[in-house]
Amino acid sequence: MNMPVEAAMVEYLYQKASASGSPISGTFELTPLCNMNCSMCYVRLSKEEQTARGELKSAEEWLNLARRCKDAGMLFLLITGGEPFTHPEIRTIIEELHRMGFILTINTNGTMIDEETVSWLKKVPPARINVTLYGADNDTYKRLCRCPDGFSKADKAIMLLKENGINIKINCSVTPYNADDLPEIISYAKRNEIVIQPTAYMFPSNKKSTETNNEFRFSPEKAAYYTAYIDYLINGKDKFLSFSKDAVIPADNDDNCGKTGEGIKCRAGKCSFWITWDGQILPCGMFPRNAEKNAFEGSFDELWAYTKDMTDKIRLPADCAECRLKKECRACAAMVISENGCFDKAPEYRCRYVSSFYTERNRLINEITHKEDN
Amino acid sequence: MKIRGEFITRQILDDTVVLPVGNTAIEFNNMIMLNSVSLVIWQCLENDVSFDDILKAVTDNFEVSQEQAVADIREFLDGMRSYNLLDE
């Protein structure tokens, strides 16, 4: 029997933790290093850049932190990077975290998972492994990720994990570099009966320009088109056309801007937190990396109080509160701050993305029906 | 009868959560939430016990009729059997 952790129990625990302000969910970003080098990545650093900013934390440092988080009530733990499998002590970390009793998820590009890795993972299986697929063949991986055999390796990892009963989800960031592969990526997931979650809205990289037309992500209008296209490819033509009668943009987060001056609505800083590879504690990984506290020092209760306080002070833009599209938009605090660098302006890229969605979806519907007519 | 597999029990807020460990997590990739009665049953099942042993533990710990206790224990055991979590 291989079954995912039941959504109803997860939701119940998250709601209870949010109400009581308990840190039930954490993310450990073990490393900024990655064996690939994707154009749109918001975290990756080269070894030289990482060394200049600080040393990687050891297994013992991460595990000490995990023990403190456990005492504070953490149950759900996401391990991410960079590529977490590049961390020199990844096995020690995962083995001990598994034994501590966390519901563990690992984000990976899959390219470092081979037969021997899967044989080891079976002894300490995470609740889920999220494998990000960047393309449907090696050419795309070479172009987007500078990893010429990336698809072959990721495909092999996915097959091995599946054959060995380890729960997998496929994530996919759709960009101008891999958009042509999207139909095949979704077919691949369907053929192999694996849940897939592609997204066409990309946060701006915190390392690069935040101009809306920067090359690693779509224009807002194109991102809107591809959001509809993802819906079409996943659900099929009939369901897509039927769903399209309702004016709903597929949700990509659980936030929703409230009234002017209201705080954020999502779980970031209410019951979840993110620890960066160099020890910053943030409400969410998409927030600016300027936290003053080091998660590897001091009491976790104090760190958590600091994070909640930081979150409580956030006020969403007045423009968003009064916007007629706010329900469809669901612009979260992380989008606002990462698009603008501040919380008091509406995120223009997201505004254009949302306001163009229905036009772009109609464009797609016309294309689909026109193709049929011909 | 006894629990089949390896589990960790954790207290999360005021709930008791049971998580599979090792190979058990491949076969049962889920969690179990225990209320106060099912926690007593679970603790009994950590050792090799009979139905009557469990019934005694439940009736010793809770003000409950014999009939209700039997029904509750059967329901819990059936749930465990449906996930193949019981060695009998």
d(CA A181, CA A174): 9
């809770």: which residue's tokens?
Answer: B62
- β-strand B2-3 against B7-12: which pairing, if any? unpaired
CA distances in angstroms from A165 to A92, A104, A128, listed in the order given: 22, 15, 10
d(CA A333, CA A223): 19
User: Does the residue B25 lie in any domain?
Assistant: yes
Amino acid identity for residue A242 in this structure = S
d(CA A168, CA A195): 8
Reading the block at residue A160, the tokens are 């091995």
**What is the pLDDT, as a whole number, of residue A212?**
39
Cα of A165 to nearest chain B Cα, Å? 6
Please check whether residue A127 touches B, CB under 8 A: yes
pLDDT in tens, A323-360: 888 888 878 888 888 888 888 888 999 999 999 999 99
d(CA A80, CA B64): 48
pLDDT in tens, A143-186: 989 999 999 999 999 999 999 999 999 999 999 989 999 999 99
d(CA B75, CA B88): 16
Reading the block at residue A51, the tokens are 């060394």
Which residues 35-54 in chain A show a CB within 8 A of chain B?
Answer: none
Instruction: Work out the average pLDDT over B67-84.
Output: 96
Q: At a CB cut-off of 8 Å and minimum separation 6, what does A342 contact?
A: none
Reading the block at residue B28, the tokens are 């049962």
Domain range for B60 is: 2-83
**What is the pLDDT, as a whole number, of residue A84?**
98
User: Does the residue B20 lie in any domain?
Assistant: yes
Cα of B49 to nearest chain A Cα, Å? 25
Domains of chain B: total: 1
Q: At a CB cut-off of 8 Å and minimum separation 6, what does A117 contact?
A: A85, A157
Q: Select from A165, A168, A171, A198 the least CA-distant residue to A183.
A: A198
pLDDT in tens, A16-47: 999 999 999 999 999 999 999 987 787 889 99
User: Does the residue B88 lie in any domain?
Assistant: no
Please check whether residue A129 touches B, CB under 8 A: no
d(CA A306, CA A275): 13
A22 contacts B13? CB cut-off 8 A:
yes
Query: In a 3-state reduction of DSSP, which class is residue B19?
Result: strand
User: Does the residue B62 lie in any domain?
Assistant: yes
Please check whether residue B21 touches A, CB under 8 A: yes
The DSSP H or E segment spanning A173 is: strand A168-173
The reported pTM is 0.92
User: Is pLDDT of A210 > 50?
Assistant: no
Q: Which residues of B touch A4 (CB under 8 A)?
A: 29-30
User: Does the residue B21 lie in any domain?
Assistant: yes
